[in-house]
Amino acid sequence: MTTKEIGCFLALIMTAALSPYENLKSRVLKNIELICVDDKIRNDFREESESWRDLKKVTSMKELIQLLEDRDVLTEWNVAIFEKLVKLLGNKESVDLIKAYKKLELSDTTPQCSVCHCKIQITPVQLDPVLYSASDSDEMESAMLYISRNYGCRWKHLARALKVREGDIDNIFCDNPHDTCEQTYQALRRWREEHASRANMNVLLKTLRSSPCNRTDLAEKLQKGYHLN
């Protein structure tokens, strides 16, 4: 792509009704959608897909991208796997688009509103650490319910960070379709069952703050006791 074309693309994603990521995905798909997914491409993404059975069902680029998004390895803030795909396909225009997107969107770490994509300014709050015990069953249950109501659709990030098995995550997703609150709660419940004494509040707070969860807001509210109100 020429410098002028890249500039036009940057202007487009800044003013479009779609989010910058959805706009990028749409543009790249137009470039690669006619390419069929064969076993060579499947093998290149076998590790990321985490399920050869599901990957074998994929025949189009749109389906492959959807699978990678479902596995949370392709997200609006992590497009490395997208870049890997278009490089393997030798699509230079798409490589340039992704590089432009990364430069514009990912160099700024200021969080965005998920609805209007405006930047959100957050003032860090220093809090004294609060110690919790795994035997505090009622309090842990309250925390799990609070997280379930407030975490949102990216609950798989949290489940994987807490080492919930991939098969359990898939079962939870299938057993509770379109109900992210229940999906999140069941994932937390599964974590607590599998890890017993290690499934304590300190671990939960640390995981919420860590990448890829990055939910310091929830961790701070738990420390303030919002889940007990």
Q: Is residue 127 part of a domain?
A: no
Q: Per residue in 24-35, pLDDT tens?
A: 899 999 999 999
Quick one: 15 and 95 in the same domain?
yes
Exposure string of 125-136, with b = 16+ CB inside 10 Å and e = fewer, is: eeeeeeebebee
- Omega into 129 within 30° of 0, i.e. cis? no
Contacts of 181 (CB under 8 A, 6+ apart): 148, 149
CATH number at residue 206: 1.10.533.10
At 136 the pLDDT is 57
Q: Is the per-residue pLDDT at 135 higher than 90? A: no
- pLDDT confidence tier of residue 49, bands split at 50, 70 and 90: confident
Q: What pLDDT does 80 receive?
A: 86
Please say which residue of 87, 106, 125 terminates a domain.
106
- Burial class of 94 by CB neighbour count within 10 A (0 to 12, 13 to 18, 19+): buried
Q: Is the pLDDT of residue 219 over 50?
A: yes
Of the pLDDT bands very low, low, confident and very high (cuts 50, 70, 90), residue 107 is low
Distance separating alpha carbons of residues 72 and 184, to the nearest angstrom: 15
Q: What is the pLDDT of residue 68?
A: 87
Is residue 119 assigned to a domain? no
d(C-alpha 176, C-alpha 180), whole Å: 8
- Classify residue 162 as exposed, middle or buried by CB count within 10 Å of its CB (0-12, 13-18, 19+): buried
Range scoring the smallest mean pLDDT among 30-34, 99-103, 141-145: 99-103
Rounded Cα gap, residues 158 and 210, in angstroms: 10
Q: Does residue 228 surpass a pLDDT of 50?
A: yes
Q: Are residues 152 and 203 in the same domain?
A: yes
Residue 117 has pLDDT above 50, yes or no: no
Q: Residue 121 — φ and ψ, nearest 5°? A: -90, 125
CA angle 85, 89, 95 (to 5 degrees): 65
Residue 35 lies in a domain: yes
Instruction: Assess whether 102 and 172 both reside in one domain.
Output: no
CA 127/CA 68 separation, integer angstroms: 37
Domain of 152? 137-228
pLDDT of 162 strictly over 80: yes
pLDDT category at 146 given cuts 50, 70, 90 is very high
- Confidence grade of residue 133 (pLDDT, cut at 50, 70, 90): very low
Greater pLDDT, 228 or 204? 204
Domain count, the chain: 2
| pLDDT reported for residue 16 | 47
Q: Which of the listed residues 64, 86, 106 is the one where a domain comes to its end?
A: 106
Residue 13: what pLDDT?
46
Question: In the prediction, which pLDDT does 15 show?
Answer: 45
Query: Within a domain: residue 122?
Result: no
Q: What DSSP element (H or E) covers 101? A: helix 92-101
Q: Kindly report the average pLDDT of the chain as a whole number.
A: 80
Q: Is residue 114 over pLDDT 60?
A: no
Residue 88 sits in the same domain as residue 144:
no
The distance from CA 163 to its chain's CA centroid, rounded to whole angstroms, is 15
CA distance 181 to 187: 10
The pLDDT of 171-197, averaged and rounded, is: 91
| Kind and range of the H or E run holding 201 | helix 201-209
- Same-domain pairing of 168 and 102: no
User: pLDDT per residue over 72-93, tens digit each?
Assistant: 778 777 788 889 999 999 999 9
